[in-house]
A and B are shown apart, each in its own frame.
Chain A
């Protein structure tokens, strides 16, 4: 019988030939011999803002022969926070993830300590922002590395033409694109701010300050409170409401400001103030430069009239609302050494500067020594619009996070539930007296502390 298939002899000969060829071939260094790594980063508001991390990731992965995958998850609808919560519960997911300000404390027990990485970074770049340290350090260990991408200040982003015309304030002279204060800078207080808000409201260009439950609202009100020395709790979380004159003064100022804001600020989300500036309806917002960056694309005539200046000062000083991201490495990850190496790589000065340049000046590195990047001097139009965006020595300001010095377990609840804007809303919108609203505040804080 004729057999038309492959014989055993033929198969053996073929296999031997293949094996011999393989042995004789030059050794190809396969990618991925360093293992694989998956990181999830915050999806940047600024168009193209993720590109820096992609470029850095590719460079590091090639150098270290690691199969690196980067995912970018945005915070719209709290997707990033949900992802972190799900991975913390499931104890599986990415090797490292961007964590919002309070989450690094919430998930501290499941995050790998990174003191070794922080030690080397501080040795190379100097001290880290104290607010970032307060948030990232838990139980004596650093649980996350403060990130550059996504970390933001929320100074005042002004329409200098409208402020000049209607409020008589020349903000470009007050805070020029140089390391010095101009005339009127010392008078940039909350009282001056209130008067300007009133005049701009009368002229039909009210300040666009959210008073809802999202971070933009909580952050600027938190900075206002701190500038009056108004604290709701002490370091242990005990409410310090009764007899707190500073708190009452701060609430009074916030209520007075709110009377000159659009009547629906109580429902604004994090994009509403951006839209109010870009649409040309607002003379001032508290925001990072993302609103200006989008206006450059969509409403250049508005962007050309924008200028960033620090927040007003109060009796206890000038506090800038600061919202840091952290990069956390999950303790359940399988390639923690590589993860630490990658995070250290993207935290270097060169990497931070590349990130900030790519985000058009939005990203603030966590090291004070890195507040001199050229991008903040050169971005425009108008050139110099971002000079005063990072915190600089001549601002005489401190970065701050709302509800400090409360312990993170309590502060994160107070922050998410926006107790500061709610207490103001009860007075301004709900018609309650300050004492009734403060009594409610004390009950809420007491309730939040229970069952811990």
Chain B
């Protein structure tokens, strides 16, 4: 009789089942075994190269002697590298802000379209993100390229002088940011669209009853409800944009005068092309503390908000 006082009986052991067999049948073991291929891939392609890079960065150029943190100190002594740090931060922050704003605006526009038309617009707007970035950057390079620039050709029709898109430092930086924003805005758009659709309609109805304007609805309902998504997407995009390689490599190769180099492209130039692999490893590892610092504060904010809401 079930009276709430019966102590559960220990499960009867199947005859002949060993500790190992019981261990293998546990859910956590099965789960671990099923994720083992993924762990192996991450271990082999992410963890191992990262650990090897840390080891490499402590060696001298010929990779014969251990020199500790000397490579990092030498880099910080280099004016070019200090500029690379500044350029990477400027590039990442500017590009992410622009992507977030444009992505949000596009999501807002899409959200208010009738459902019938939304799908084709969504598809078209996703195209930049779907094309492999090296390929699309090559297309942009042809549009910016001095001899055959189609953009300059269009400007010439309106009697606007040609712009040295890739030849002048600030124009080159702007060009890299334009391409990155063009490529990354659809990602923000699709994430924010999903977030917008998850905001309960009743909140807007209640706000409308209270006489809220559309700006007030955006500020007091939409944005607060989307704060976590905004934090996560901004963090994700910051990490990816910081580590961007293909756009800089294809568009400007870091030039002119190394003024569009970011960490990844500079690491390639110093490490592989100049034959100083340990220093190249040190350049790419520089990103890690900066990104870890940003990730810590963003995720802390997200966790705090989740706790408050719970």
Report B259-310 residues with CB < 8 Å from chain A CB: 269-270, 272-279
CB distance from A90 to the nearest CB of B (A): 13
Known: A264-B168, A266-B256, A267-B252. A413 touches B275 (CB 8 A): yes
Chain B residues in 8 Å Cβ range of A450: 70, 74, 77
Docked-complex contact A447 and B256, CB < 8 angstroms: no
Given A267-B172, A447-B77, decide whether A452 and B62 contact each other with a Cβ distance below 8 A.
Answer: yes
Closest A residue, CB atoms, query B172: A267
CB atoms of A412 and B167 under 8 A apart? no
Check B78 against A272 for contact (C-beta < 8 Å).
no
Shortest Cβ gap from B43 to chain A (Å): 19
Chain B residue nearest to A408 (CB atoms) is B275
Q: Roughly how many angstroms separate A451 CA and B65 CA in the complex, as a whole number? A: 10
**For chains A and B in complex, what number of residue pairs have CB atoms within 8 angstroms?**
104
Decide yes or no: A78 and B79 within 8 Å by CB, A447-B74, A451-B70 being known contacts. Answer: no
A313 sits at the interface (CB 8 A): no
- Name the interface residues of B72-92: CB closer than 8 Å to any CB of A: 74, 77-80
In the complex, whether B222 has a CB less than 8 A from a CB of chain A is no
Query: How distant is B74 from chain A, measured CB to nearest CB, in Å?
Result: 5
Shortest CB–CB separation between residue B224 and chain A, in angstroms? Answer: 45
Q: A82-B272, A451-B279 are in contact. Are A266 and B257 (CB under 8 A)?
A: yes
Proximity bits, A400-430, B CB within 8 Å = 1, else 0? 0000000001001100110000100110011
Collect the chain A residues with CB atoms within 8 Å of residue B146's CB: 262, 264, 267-268, 272
Contacts of B249 in A (CB 8 A): 77
Chain A contacts for B128, CB-based, 8 A: none
Which of A266, A275, A279 has its CB near the most chain B CB atoms (within 10 A)? A266
Known A-B contacts A263-B167, A267-B252; the reply to A451 vs B257 at CB < 8 A is no
| B136 vs chain A, min Cβ distance (A) | 16
Would you call B78 and A263 a contact (CB within 8 A)?
Answer: no
Q: Hey, which chain A residues are within 8 Å of B275, CB to CB?
A: 85, 102-103, 106, 409, 412-413, 416
In the complex the two chains form, is B253's CB within 8 Å of A276's CB? Answer: no
Query: Which residues of chain B are within 8 angstroms of A267 by Cβ–Cβ distance?
Result: 146, 164, 166-167, 172, 252, 255-256
> Of residues 81 to 117 in B, which have CB atoms within 8 Å of A's CB atoms?
none
A292 to B33, CA, bound (A): 62
Asked if A266 and B255 sit within 8 Å, CB to CB, the answer is yes
Closest chain A residue to B163 by CB distance?
A264
Distance in angstroms between the alpha carbons of A416 and B254 in the assembled complex: 12
The bracket for how many chain B residues form the interface is 35 or more
- C-alpha gap A295/B270 in the complex (Å): 35
B257 contacts A81, C-beta separation under 8 Å: no
**Bound: A426/B148 CA distance, A:** 27
Q: What's the minimum C-beta distance from B264 to chain A, rounded to whole angstroms? A: 14
Q: Is A242 an interface residue (CB 8 A)?
A: no
A265 CA to B276 CA, complexed, in Å: 28
* Distance between B246 CB and nearest chain A CB, rounded to angstroms: 10
Given A276-B147, A451-B67, the answer on whether A264 and B164 have CB atoms closer than 8 Å is yes
Shortest beta-carbon distance, B140 to chain A, in Å? 14
Q: How far is the CA of A429 from the CA of B169 in the complex (A)?
A: 9
Residues of B within 8 A of A413 (CB): 274-276
Q: What mask results when residues 340 to 383 of chain A are scored 1 for a CB within 8 Å of chain B, else 0?
A: 00000000000000000000000000000000000000000000
Q: Main SS of chain B's interface residues? A: loop
Interface residues of B in 171-217 (CB under 8 A from A): 172
Is A181 part of the contact surface with B, judged by Cβ < 8 Å?
no
Minimum C-beta distance from A437 to chain B (A): 11
B167 to A: closest C-beta gap in Å: 3
The residues of B that contact A115 with a CB separation of less than 8 Å are none
The residue on B at minimum CB distance from A418 is B255
Is there contact, CB below 8 Å, between B79 and A443? yes
Check A275/B147 contact, CB under 8 A, given A81-B273, A264-B166, A416-B274: yes
Tell me the complex Cα distance, A210–B61, Å: 30
Residue of B nearest to A85 (CB): B272
Q: B63 → chain A, closest Cβ, in Å?
A: 10
Residues of A contacting B80 in the complex (Cβ-Cβ under 8 angstroms): 444
Instruction: Please name the residue on chain B nearest to A102 by beta carbon.
Output: B275
Contacts of B79 in A (CB 8 A): 440, 443-444
Residues in A whose Cβ lies below 8 Å from that of B172: 267
Report yes or no: A78 in contact with B272, Cβ–Cβ below 8 A. Answer: yes
Q: Of residues 121 to 171 in B, which have CB atoms within 8 Å of A's CB atoms?
A: 145-148, 164-169
The answer to the question of A213 belonging to the interface, with a C-beta cut-off of 8 Å to chain B, is yes
Docked complex Cα distance between A292 and B175 (Å): 32
With A281-B147, A429-B257 given, is the CB distance from A263 to B60 under 8 Å? no
Q: Is B237 an interface residue (CB 8 A)?
A: no
- Minimum Cβ distance to chain B for residue A420 (Å): 12
With a 10 A CB-CB cut-off, give which of B61, B80, B273, B279 has the most chain A CB atoms. B273
- B55 to A: closest C-beta gap in Å: 13
Confirm or deny: A133 has a beta carbon within 8 angstroms of a beta carbon on chain B: no
Query: Which chain B positions have C-beta within 8 A of A447?
Result: 74, 77-78
Tell me, in angstroms, the Cα distance from A426 to B83 when the chains sit together.
14
A266 contacts B74, CB within 8 Å? no
Which of chain A's residues have a CB closer than 8 A to the CB of B279?
A: 451
A452 contacts B164, C-beta separation under 8 Å:
no
> Inside 8 A of B60's CB, which chain A residues have their CB?
451-452
Contact across chains for A272 and B147 when beta carbons are under 8 A apart: yes
Asked if A78 and B61 sit within 8 Å, CB to CB, the answer is no
Q: Is the CB of B256 within 8 A of A279?
A: no
Chain B residues contacting A444 (CB-CB under 8 Å) are: 78-80
Interface positions, chain B 46-62, Cβ under 8 Å from A, are 60-62
Q: CB of A324 within 8 A of chain B?
A: no
Tell me if B241 counts as interface (CB < 8 A to partner A): no
Given A78-B273, A263-B164, the answer on whether A429 and B256 have CB atoms closer than 8 Å is yes
| CB atoms of A212 and B255 under 8 A apart | yes
A252 contacts partner chain B, Cβ-Cβ < 8 Å: no
Q: For residue B253, which residues in chain A have a CB less than 8 angstroms away from its CB?
A: 212-214, 269
CA distance A276 to B146 in the complex (A): 9
Using a CB–CB cutoff of 8 Å, the interface residues on chain A facing chain B are 77-78, 81-82, 85, 89, 102-103, 106, 212-214, 262-269, 272, 275-276, 279, 281, 409, 412-413, 416-417, 422, 425-426, 429-430, 440, 443-444, 447, 450-452
**Sample of 8 A–B contacts (CB below 8 Å):** A78-B272, A81-B273, A262-B146, A267-B167, A413-B275, A416-B274, A417-B270, A429-B256
Q: Besides the contacts A82-B272, A266-B167, A443-B78, what 11 more A-B pairs have beta carbons closer than 8 Å?
A: A106-B275, A267-B252, A268-B167, A272-B146, A409-B61, A416-B273, A422-B257, A443-B79, A450-B74, A451-B67, A451-B279
The 9 closest A-B pairs by CB, nearest first: A264-B167, A266-B256, A267-B166, A106-B275, A267-B167, A264-B164, A264-B146, A413-B274, A416-B274
